[in-house]
Amino acid sequence: MRSATRYTYLGPEGTFTEAALRTLPEAATRELVPMVSVPAALDAVRSGEAAAALVPIENSVEGGVTATLDELATGEPLMIYREVLLEIAFALLVRPGTRLTDIKTVTGHPVAQPQVRKWLAANLPDAVWESSASNADGARLVREGRYDAAFAGEFAAATYGLEPLVTGIHDAENAETRFVLVGRPARPAARTGADRTSLVMWQRDDHPGALLEYLQEFAVRGVNLMRIESRPTGEGMGRYCFSVDCEGHITDRRVAEALMGLKRTCAEVRFLGSYPRAGASGAGAGGAARGEQPDERPGTTDGDFVAAADWLARCQDGRA
């Protein structure tokens, strides 16, 4: 069944992903459907059962969310249309009446563990950690008596009949998770001047300086990389693809020419979308404030590329 009004997300109810999804204005008019995993949420989009899916892709403490990176790199192509940034702080959720000294087992999503590791060592040094499919699913397991406590959003307590024993838990101040809204391929969102372009690239062959060659396609055109991660392709040890975010939009001449250069030199390039960067206070990876237009180096503006192309045409016509 195809639905243009259904959005899926990493569930169950009460996840940070749901909280991020509900910050989107259109969420108020969509049917929001929790899914058991990132692959399940994205497969619903591929099959047409949902118009889009919101999934986590990057955390400021733990880095890339590998399930999302790998799903976007494989299978039927999908495209990112927007992103959401959500500040993350955990609550320790317990069944009513549980004291801190009663807690012997704790659970949460694997990405949550590095964000609360120091707190655990200081406050529950003997507690055994076991991962769950999501933080909210960990809360469900606590309700069922499988674990003594779960790290989840405080807002999940009421959903699962639990109590927040401790709130505001985080090892790193201002920890954030970035979520992306993913749909089927179509024309990218319009250029805003403060955009991000995402792609995956595969090596043509393994030789000294291969990665440097790919990075130079960005560098010589003044395109700032915001993130690059290697992921195994599953084709054997030492075989990797590279997940990349860069500043700019595919309609920017410098970004378009960088992508064309990669298409010539890489075995494969998968374009994952150009979309507005989430606006927030603070400095981004490239030095520009997030949500603001990045500085363009001399010689890398659209006007510079147009002038260079015009000069070349005049040379070819004998008019230089």
Among candidates 173, 151, 161, 262, which has minimal Cα distance to 215?
262
**Is 183 a residue whose pLDDT tops 90?**
yes
Express each pLDDT in 40-80 by its tens digit. Answer: 999 999 999 999 999 999 998 888 999 999 999 999 999 99
Tell me, what amino acid is at 242? Answer: F
Residue 279 φ/ψ, nearest 5 degrees: -80, 130
Cα 306 from chain centroid? 33
What 231-236 contacts at long range (C-beta under 8 Å, 24+ apart), as own/partner pairs, is: 231/66, 231/69, 231/70, 231/73, 233/202
Residue with tokens 């062959």: 205
| Predicted confidence band of residue 290 (pLDDT cuts 50, 70, 90) | low
Tens of pLDDT, residue by residue over 291-301, are 556 667 777 78
Check residue 62 and give its pLDDT.
84
Model confidence over 101-112: pLDDT tens digits?
999 999 999 889
DSSP for 86-129 reads EE--EEEEE-TT--GGG--EEEE-TTTHHHHHHHHHHH-TTPEE
- How much is the mean pLDDT over the chain? 90
Q: Give the mean pLDDT of 150-158.
A: 95
